[in-house]
């Protein structure tokens, strides 16, 4: 008698040691369709997520990430699962019929609850109530606080996000606003993200915001802010168009249809970026351009982090090193210190700190250590010094073009440097700065 075929169970982890409880195996998501009905006054969410995915192997069982919300109903490929288990962070599903390799299927999840941030090494992440509104900050593992997903940056998908809430509030999300309608004191906002996006970059911002559209720049952008902050916002973001132009020349064309800036009525510890947008607290605007460095940093993430997204969290320097180096490029372009002067200054500051971190694999506790940012920027500057401006910026533009809206590794960047320079000198430089602990010298 033949033994039965053993079940094929998709992993409940993406296999990333930095976030071993995040992500799932056995399938790849192609599209998320999120329909959200939210009550700002009571922080109550009723939602339906339709997830279109493709099986990578036969799946008798698979999982999604979802935390802190109650599931009412699930279907897989149009049928009720034979078993549904919802733990603290995982929704585990046994489809009525095993999914076959290459099969496309829909998972429809109806869920509800009071969304709240999830706890992590890096503080509370995800859906967060403001004094009067909502902020979503998903990096690196907060997406499951508001929708079921495959929460790993290597699995990028397109999105449609529809959210209804009380009419006095403005909703901002990823992608262009494609529909808006009001009825019975509530307004429904629909956004369409056509570029593949990592789940952690999906975001919803809700507040009593005024909107200002600016179109006379290389890329249209919009500012959303409390009316009381109109004057400092108009001053502090007046150079945003120039920043987009400078970075477009250095890194290649801006990767998305538009850019949105949200300034909350609350103070925030740090600004944050998401796909096609950036969020600042009221404490980040002063009407004196006091946050130009922060604005440049979050804008640069649209290229490095949002369009080009790391394949594994150990390569976080590919996001933060570039965003930090963009600060130095903007400082020089706007009449401040040259990039080299900034590099010399920050290397001296790093030399006073412990040299016990490898920024190419800093470990989950130190992913967002400032040494990852500054040393990553210094690595890029050292390559620029070695191969010259023409080869350096040719390589960056090739890097953003060839991996546009995709996933990247350090080797992908090195390949672009090698081709542009005709040498492998960048490999040795990156090895010293990114893979070693000692602090290399900078050329004069």
**The pLDDT of residue 4 is above 70:** no
Taking alpha carbons only, the member of 290, 296, 295 closest to residue 280 is 295
Q: Parallel, antiparallel, or unpaired: how do β-strands 27-39 and 157-166 relate? A: parallel
Alpha carbon distance, N-terminus to C-terminus of the chain = 77
pLDDT at 412 over 70: yes
The per-residue pLDDT for range 273-294, each reduced to its tens digit, is 999 999 999 999 999 999 999 9
By CB atoms closer than 10 A (0-12, 13-18, 19+), residue 251 is buried
- In whole angstroms, give the CA distance from residue 119 to residue 125: 6
Question: Which string of b and e fits 261-297 if b means at least 16 CB within 10 Å?
Answer: bbbbbbebeebbbbbbbbbbbbebbeeebebbebbbb
pLDDT over 70 percentage in the chain: 99
Question: Does the pLDDT of residue 58 top 90, yes or no?
Answer: yes
Measured CA to CA, the distance from residue 442 to residue 339 in angstroms comes to 12
**Sign of the alpha-carbon torsion through 276, 383, 152, 17:** negative
**Three-class SS state of 348:** helix
Strand partners, 177: 191
Domains and CATH numbers, the chain: 1-208 (2.60.40.1730), 210-302 (3.30.2010.30), 309-434 (1.10.390.10)
Helices (H), 130-212: none
Q: What is the pLDDT of residue 216?
A: 75
Does an H or E element contain 290, and which? none
Residue 88 has a pLDDT of 92
pLDDT digits (tens, 9 = 90+) for 11-35: 899 999 999 999 999 999 999 999 9
Report the chain's mean pLDDT, rounded to a whole number. 96
Predicted local distance difference test score (pLDDT) of residue 141: 96
DSSP state of 270: S
Count of CB atoms situated within 10 Å of the CB of 100 = 11
Residue 24 pLDDT = 97
In sequence order, the 6+-apart residues with CB closer than 8 A to the CB of 16 are 22, 23, 152, 312, 313
Q: Which class for 216: exposed (0-12), middle (13-18), buried (19 or more C-beta within 10 A)?
A: exposed
Q: What is the pLDDT of residues 89-122, one digit of tens each?
A: 999 999 999 999 999 999 999 999 999 999 998 8
Token pair recorded at residue 426: 């960048």
- Residue 162, classified by CB atoms within 10 Å of its CB into exposed (0-12), middle (13-18) or buried (19+), is buried
CA distance 176 to 425: 42
Q: What distances in angstroms separate CA 270 from CA 137, 283, 371, one per listed residue?
A: 11, 9, 17
């Amino acid at each position: 008698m033949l033994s039965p075929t053993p079940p094929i169970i998709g992993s409940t982890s993406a296999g990333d040691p930095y976030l071993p409880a995040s992500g799932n195996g056995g399938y790849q998501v192609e599209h998320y369709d999120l329909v959200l009905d939210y009550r700002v006054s009571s922080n109550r969410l009723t939602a339906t997520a339709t997830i279109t995915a493709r099986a990578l192997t036969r799946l008798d069982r698979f999982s999604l990430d979802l935390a802190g919300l109650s599931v009412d109903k699930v279907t897989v490929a149009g049928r009720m699962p034979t078993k549904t288990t919802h733990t603290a962070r995982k929704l585990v599903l046994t489809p009525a019929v095993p999914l076959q390799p290459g099969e496309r299927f829909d998972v429809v999840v109806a869920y509800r609850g009071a969304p709240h941030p999830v706890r992590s090494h890096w503080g509370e992440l995800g859906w967060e109530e403001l004094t009067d509104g909502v902020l979503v900050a998903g990096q690196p593992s907060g997406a499951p606080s508001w929708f079921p997903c495959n929460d790993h940056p290597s699995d990028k998908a397109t999105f449609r996000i529809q959210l209804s809430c009380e009419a006095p509030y403005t909703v901002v999300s990823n992608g262009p606003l494609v529909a808006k309608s009001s009825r019975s004191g509530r307004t429904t906002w629909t956004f369409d993200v056509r570029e593949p996006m990592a789940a952690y970059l999906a975001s919803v911002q809700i507040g009593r915001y005024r909107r200002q559209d600016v179109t006379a720049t290389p890329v249209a952008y919009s500012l959303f802010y409390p009316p009381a902050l109109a004057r400092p916002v108009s001053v502090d973001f007046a150079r945003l168009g120039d920043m987009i132009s400078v970075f477009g020349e250095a890194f290649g064309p801006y990767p998305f249809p538009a850019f949105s800036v949200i300034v909350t009525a609350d103070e925030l510890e740090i600004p944050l970026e998401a796909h096609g947008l950036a969020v600042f607290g009221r404490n980040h605007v002063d009407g004196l351009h006091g946050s130009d460095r922060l604005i440049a940093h979050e804008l640069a993430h649209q290229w490095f982090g949002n369009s080009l997204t790391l394949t594994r969290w150990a390569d976080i320097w590919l996001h933060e090193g570039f965003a930090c180096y963009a600060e130095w490029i903007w400082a020089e372009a706007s009449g401040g210190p040259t990039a080299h002067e900034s590099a010399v200054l920050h290397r001296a500051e790093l030399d006073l700190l412990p040299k016990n971190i490898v920024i190419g694999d800093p470990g989950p506790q130190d992913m967002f250590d400032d040494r990852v940012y500054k040393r990553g920027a210094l690595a890029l500057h050292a390559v620029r010094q070695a191969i010259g401006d023409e080869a350096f910026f040719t390589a960056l533009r090739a890097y953003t073009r060839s991996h546009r809206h995709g996933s990247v590794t350090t080797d992908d960047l090195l390949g672009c440097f090698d081709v542009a320079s005709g040498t492998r000198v960048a490999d040795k430089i990156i090895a010293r700065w990114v893979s070693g602990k000692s602090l290399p010298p900078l050329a004069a």
